[in-house]
Chains A and B, each alone.
Chain A
């Protein structure tokens, strides 16, 4: 089975072009292919979801796009182009400037992304300093603005991460990710550890910020229901391949790859019309 061709991009000039991207993990028993010839376009200002189960390669793909993959993972084929830049050709020095200015990443565990012994203000200071912004008054002003942007009072700049709730910490990480106005924000299970109410509050806020600031989002989650509510387009990964790339409306109508249907039908509806039974395991052809 060959990977399906991506549908025509909604915009004439896509922000991100991924072509035939292949990532292998080196193991003692030879290479294991984690991402297998994945191609897609992401438009400017678009929110695209990547769904799939554990081990499907969705996080490996996202990390490879930001060049954040580490050995034993190796990119062994394909190309990544972001706003005209050949991402795979960037030198380590270029990469340090490119990341965060062009693409930033929000991970699942906000606590692990923050330094527990630094105040919130110092987390901002370090990030700005790494990108050559050192003027004290400017750093203070931009930090306060960013906190207000995600609905946190600037008073919290003096707090340490443990003094913030889980939802606030993740909003803080999102504020840090937006600090240098990146064109693309990669979010890998950003709300999985949070309660549904907090999850919904944060994602509504991201949707609103996206409309105002115009960045694109690559949103990775195992929760296809959530993805169908938040994303313009949805991709489904299975064993390293992108087996589906479509709109939430099309999936809701009943279209799509058998594996997409299987995932969709596994979602427990809140108000089922008929009693729901578990799906038998799907054996892929």
Chain B
């Protein structure tokens, strides 16, 4: 495997408490590794710390402890406008809401020309125009038809593809996609994920795919890490995590995924079981290897009782 491009070591984030007691530990000693041309799915429920993780990796927040390494260089304390600009060019973000992420007053062409003008001084106006068309083609959009359209004239899927093209415009090494398809209609989700999957392989981009939907992880990500209340409870090759989950929370999550054609009564009720698993998963435990590259956090059965 190639050398990692982005790594975290013991990444932790404590948000100060609004009242007297302790503060809120949003992320607790998380180790993640992203490789060029590969994807890591970060799966968890709301409040598990997935978006905090994205904010730390893009330097929108400073971690309370732990390190972020970019190509083996410590970038945790990065400061200065120039250094941050350079870092944010190579680590790009695609957001959940394709409607909010585009400026309604500007055309698709403008959204692509701006990053090109900022980060590609080698290109003149004609060069930027040609590059914008090439980018739209790469994300499987009809450049001729869409370049001069406004966001409200596009479907949700088309908008999310424009966002992806905008992220690609600056030639990033890493793309962090935070729930990129959860606001799209079901029938187009897989095709957008397919595009992401193809681009990361073709362009050697390291992808962090953040989602609450573990079923989609398989379509994009070689590896999957499951977060619960700020801690990784299980991580490893996506197939191993989904097909032979070892942590009770991963199993709970998998049993709750809507499973087409299987009525609720088959497979047993989740009610009652869910709370016990949540208590168990919050208890003490260490990440240990359970298979090749596959780790799960140990649990203390006494906690659930």
**Distance A37 CA – B177 CA, assembled complex (angstroms):** 41
**In the complex, how many residues of chain A place their beta carbon closer than 8 angstroms to a beta carbon of chain B?**
43
In the complex formed, the residue of A with least CB distance to B219 is: A268
Verify if B190 is at the interface (C-beta below 8 Å from A): yes
CB contacts (< 8 Å) of B242 on chain A: these are: 270-271
Asked whether, in the complex, the Cβ of A204 is within 8 Å of the Cβ of B219, the reply is no
- Which of B156, B216, B261, B270 is in CB contact (< 8 Å) with A228? B261
Verify if B120 is at the interface (C-beta below 8 Å from A): no
CB contacts (< 8 Å) of B258 on chain A: these are: 196, 223, 225-226, 229, 267
Asked whether, in the complex, the Cβ of B271 is within 8 Å of the Cβ of A205, the reply is yes
CB contacts (< 8 Å) of A230 on chain B: these are: 263-264
- Which of B156, B243, B260 is in CB contact (< 8 Å) with A269? B260
Asked whether, in the complex, the Cβ of B257 is within 8 Å of the Cβ of A196, the reply is yes
In the complex formed, the residue of B with least CB distance to A253 is: B261
In the complex formed, the residue of A with least CB distance to B217 is: A268
- Contact A225:B274 (CB < 8 A) given known A197-B253, A207-B264: no
- Contact A197:B252 (CB < 8 A) given known A204-B270, A268-B218, A277-B194: yes
Q: How many A-B residue pairs have CB under 8 A?
A: 113
- Which of A195, A207, A229, A267 is in CB contact (< 8 Å) with B186? A267
Verify if A214 is at the interface (C-beta below 8 Å from B): no
Chain A interface SS verdict (over half): helix
Q: Which of B241-288 contact A (CB under 8 A)?
A: 242-243, 252-264, 269-271, 274
B282 to chain A, nearest CB (A): 14
In the complex formed, the residue of B with least CB distance to A227 is: B258
Using a CB–CB cutoff of 8 Å, the interface residues on chain B facing chain A are 45-46, 156, 185-191, 193-194, 212-216, 218-219, 242-243, 252-264, 269-271, 274
Given A195-B45, A225-B260, A281-B191, 20 more A-B residue pairs with CB atoms under 8 Å apart are A53-B187, A196-B258, A197-B253, A200-B256, A204-B264, A207-B264, A223-B258, A224-B186, A226-B258, A230-B264, A248-B261, A267-B258, A267-B260, A268-B215, A268-B219, A269-B215, A270-B242, A271-B243, A279-B190, A282-B187
Q: Name 30 interchain pairs, CB-CB below 8 A, sorted by A.
A: A195-B46, A196-B258, A197-B45, A197-B252, A197-B253, A200-B264, A200-B270, A203-B264, A204-B264, A204-B269, A225-B258, A226-B258, A229-B261, A229-B263, A229-B264, A249-B261, A252-B260, A262-B187, A266-B187, A266-B190, A267-B258, A267-B260, A268-B219, A270-B218, A270-B242, A270-B257, A278-B190, A278-B191, A278-B193, A279-B190
